[in-house]
Structure 1
């Protein structure tokens, strides 16, 4: 097939049936929409091109810089598109959490600007957050930047309403699937596809998958974070369910080893969450009469495995024939985490005043620089985890208060330190967000 531009190759990705011997569903045909086969490597190629296209000629005329608040696949696609048109591209974020993606962006000629931010993602209600302020400046009328604004730009959703959704219907012979399951990041793909599928069949069930509160899965928001995304509409989804990083990796391994689909963790999470959700429905279909027809379900494989080797190695060293990591939060039980001591803001302030615990802020250096509890020491969570694998990094004689954005990660580390024998370690319930909302003092570097 001949094209005059690489952008013409965006879309029309394969819809591949997953072997029932792999997923174990007896009455439901399961299909993977392989968005990983877009030319720049991900589902974000569609949105990046659709968001950029209207302003490209003006941007080229004025030599404008393309800017997006992204640290992942959207930034990668925009870097390529900007370069093709002789434009510079800047990725703005408060934390690059996947080293391979950062290296790839630099290789593609992107400029990366890491701004201080109070939380791990943009929240437009935080009017004093530097990341939010930057977003407001970019969004002002007359901005000299080509700001694609993926979290609020309707053309993100439109890319999938015009492309991904109709392609699924076409490849299923003109009908919508009975279920559509999607991981939720910007919510553009799930919202756009759901709209089209329900136009064909209002009975389509749409399931949104989000990251478990205490986990990080590249490309997927937690349930708290998705509500900060302008394109997210709870009415789109019949249900929303969490998946863990372990679920994502297990699903990814199944797709790669059993199906030949080299999906990244987001695709793995989509597969795992889809099969888990459909098992009950599949069981309910047992005993149906022959000829009543099979049901169908579709999930999206967002991107490829290669960019996440470091992420996987950190969480599953056994896959690389390396010994298990000592003192890891990965093997904590739910009971251990629930039993970890946590204190609310009032209790924490009283404890700090009376006993001067060591306050450890687990957020990124940029979030810490923006605002933090006075006297807190900044040890980003990955670094803190590495320190703990070598044993107790500080004296057990001094009490410790752990702080993170919303209190989830700090609770896990509090549980781990308790297991390791620390006599008095506590987690700040609700994290820095709760501290701020309570009007407790914060300082900035």
Structure 2
């Protein structure tokens, strides 16, 4: 194969049948669309190239900078594409949670700017969020940047209307699969592919997978987060289900060890979610069905993610003082406290208020007098023993109250007599009109 440009290698990724001996489905043929084989390593290559291509010539002539709000694969692809054309690239985010990605972006010459944000992704409905204000500035007609705007740009979806979707149909002999399973991030790939498949067969069942509220899965939003994504339309999906970080990692391991597919956590989550959903249908089928899921990227960039959550997979012991060891019963038993009760408790007993969000989210708005211990650092501190004095009560807060409940359960197990989780998190506090301060 001879190509004039690396961009000619974007797309036409293989559709590979997963061995039934692995997934155990008797009446359903399960296929993986290997988007990890795009030249820059992910499904985002398609959208990045489609979004940035129209503005590259003007950017080069005007010495403008390509900008995107991204902490992952979109930023990686855009930095490579911009560099190829002699254009600088800048990514703006409020938190890059995968250290390997930050290092790679810097190696590729990207400028990384982290702005305070109240949530872990862009929330256009929050008019005083610094990340949202930056988004609005970039979207102005007189902006000096080439802003690709993956959350709202129709060319994100278009890349899959003209590429990914038709490729799946062609590889299945001109017909759509009976089931399409997609993890929801910016919603570009799931929306575009779903439209193509339903144009061939309106009966195609589309399953959208979102992250469990208490979990972080790279590339996947929680159900609360996707509501603020401009391309997200709930009508795209027949069913929306949650997947956990454990699902993602187990799926990664299965695809890598049993199928020879070194998938990242998004692909692992898609596989786990697909098998769980299809298994419930398989027993009642008497005719063959087909299902397709997307393997978004590769495993190599997520070793720190695996090391934090499943050290046993890398030959390291699982620490007892880890949220990974909690049972559902322990988490359910953790003491929660609503906003009104928390305000009274703070005024009367002065507990230590610990905010587990990113430093940038904390800087934007936080409860007066609280201290910021980002969740990853909190996990490290807890592994070394009880980090807070038993003589003072502790109130834990996170974005929506899920992660703080886990840490409250763990600290309770470790012997702290009075640790509580703010129910609904900082978002509930803000929505209730309770006071917040800004650095």
Q: What is the total number of aligned residue pairs between the two structures?
A: 439
Paired with 2:414 and 2:331, the residues of 1 have a C-alpha distance of 13
Structure 2 SS opposite 1:409 = helix
What is the match of residue 93 of structure 2? 93
Q: 2:410 aligns with which of 395, 398, 416?
A: 416
Structure 1 SS opposite 2:269 = helix
Paired with 1:227 and 1:87, the residues of 2 have a C-alpha distance of 33
Task: State the 1:112 CA deviation.
Answer: 0.3
Q: Does 1:76 align with 2:70?
A: no
What is the match of residue 222 of structure 2? 222
Q: Does 1:359 align with 2:349?
A: no
Task: State the 1:10 CA deviation.
Answer: 0.3
CA deviation profile, 1:51-100 (whole Å, cap 9, x unmatched): 00111111111011000000000000000000001111011000010000
Paired with 1:419 and 1:163, the residues of 2 have a C-alpha distance of 51
What is the match of residue 146 of structure 1? 146
Which residues in structure 2 correspond to 1:102-181 (within 5 Å)? 102-181=102-181
Structure 1 SS opposite 2:33 = strand
Task: State the 1:142 CA deviation.
Answer: 2.0
Provide TM-score, normalisation by structure 1: 0.98
What is the match of residue 54 of structure 1? 54
Paired with 1:369 and 1:281, the residues of 2 have a C-alpha distance of 47
Which residues in structure 2 correspond to 1:29-40 (within 5 Å)? 29-40=29-40
Which residues in structure 2 correspond to 1:296-445 (within 5 Å)? 296-445=290-439
Gaps (5+ residues) in structure 1?
A: none
Paired with 1:208 and 1:199, the residues of 2 have a C-alpha distance of 18
Task: State the 1:155 CA deviation.
Answer: 0.5
Structure 2 SS opposite 1:284 = coil
Paired with 2:359 and 2:412, the residues of 1 have a C-alpha distance of 25
Paired with 1:93 and 1:25, the residues of 2 have a C-alpha distance of 41
Paired with 2:12 and 2:171, the residues of 1 have a C-alpha distance of 10
Structure 1 SS opposite 2:283 = helix
Task: State the 1:326 CA deviation.
Answer: 2.5
Paired with 2:103 and 2:244, the residues of 1 have a C-alpha distance of 26
Paired with 1:96 and 1:280, the residues of 2 have a C-alpha distance of 36
**Cα RMSD after superposing both structures:** 0.7
Paired with 2:218 and 2:362, the residues of 1 have a C-alpha distance of 22
Paired with 1:280 and 1:432, the residues of 2 have a C-alpha distance of 37
What is the match of residue 236 of structure 1? 236
What is the match of residue 280 of structure 2? 280
What is the match of residue 260 of structure 2? 260
Moved over 4 A (4+): none
Task: State the 1:441 CA deviation.
Answer: 1.1
Provide TM-score, normalisation by structure 2: 0.99
Paired with 2:320 and 2:359, the residues of 1 have a C-alpha distance of 25
What is the match of residue 7 of structure 1? 7
CA deviation profile, 1:199-257 (whole Å, cap 9, x unmatched): 00000000001111100000000111111101000000000111111111111111000
CA deviation profile, 1:308-353 (whole Å, cap 9, x unmatched): 0011011111111111112111121112111111111110110000
Paired with 2:21 and 2:399, the residues of 1 have a C-alpha distance of 42
Paired with 1:440 and 1:244, the residues of 2 have a C-alpha distance of 31
CA deviation profile, 1:276-325 (whole Å, cap 9, x unmatched): 1001111011xx3xxxx521000000000000001101111111111111
Paired with 2:325 and 2:161, the residues of 1 have a C-alpha distance of 41
CA deviation profile, 1:103-156 (whole Å, cap 9, x unmatched): 000010000000001111110011111000000000011211000000011100
Task: State the 1:357 CA deviation.
Answer: 0.2
CA deviation profile, 1:129-188 (whole Å, cap 9, x unmatched): 100000000001121100000001110000001100000000000000000000000000
Paired with 1:90 and 1:155, the residues of 2 have a C-alpha distance of 20
Paired with 2:348 and 2:239, the residues of 1 have a C-alpha distance of 46
What is the match of residue 206 of structure 1? 206
